[in-house]
Structure 1
Amino acid sequence: MYVCICNGVTESQIREAAANGVRNVAELTMRTGCGASCGSCLDTAVEVLQSVHGDEERQSLLPILGLSHAA
């Protein structure tokens, strides 16, 4: 399944990146391009990362978006 249509990133590519050490969306974007264009795929990308890494907090997976809640 395609998660990021804009950049052609699939769920299996996200799972592979996670297995190779990607821990959050910022790292995922740098490695795959997922979320670099419109960003509408970020929620699904986080779900896939969570399914690989277990019950980590959403804040740690979306570090940049977490800053918006600090203000």
Structure 2
Amino acid sequence: MYVCVCRAVTEKQIETAVHAGARHLRDLRTGLGIIEDCGRCARCAKQCMDKTIEGLIAPPPPPPGSSHLLLKPAG
């Protein structure tokens, strides 16, 4: 999906930038050129960035259909 139409920046490019260390909109502006023209992409770009950062922090969910047991401590 295109996030910034003015600069033809996609969601995947934002994800790649986050994996490379981008943590703020200014990082995306410097690296990808977004928000420099009309600025309409700022909100969506921030949402994509935050979602990717959250994915880096949180463990991935188990695959659909997998069964995993929750073990309770003895006692």
Alpha-carbon distance between aligned partners in 2 of 1:3 and 1:51, rounded to the nearest angstrom: 14
State the TM-score, normalized to the length of structure 2: 0.70
Taking structure 1 as the reference length, the TM-score comes to 0.73
CA distance in 2, matches of 1:49, 1:31: 13
Structure 1 or 2: more helix by fraction:
1
Instruction: State the SS of the aligned residue for 1:34.
Output: coil
Q: Which residue of 2 aligns with 1:18?
A: 18
Moved over 3 A (4+): none
Deviation at 1:47, TM superposition (A): 0.3
User: 1:15 corresponds to which letter in structure 2?
Assistant: E
Larger Rg: 2
**How far, CA to CA, are the matches of 2:16 and 2:34 in structure 1?**
13
Task: Give the length in aligned residue pairs.
Answer: 54
Q: Which residue of 2 aligns with 1:43?
A: 43
Q: Aligned equivalents of 2:15 and 2:36: distance in 1?
A: 18
CA RMSD of aligned residues (A): 0.6
Q: Which whole-Å CA distance do the structure 2 matches of 1:35 and 1:10 have between them? A: 13
* Sequence identity percentage: 35
For residue 49 of structure 1, what is the amino acid of its counterpart?
Answer: M
Q: State whether structure 2 residue 7 is matched by structure 1 residue 7.
A: yes
TM-superposed deviation, 1:35: 1.1
Q: Secondary structure at the match of 2:3?
A: strand
Partner letter of residue 33 of structure 1? G
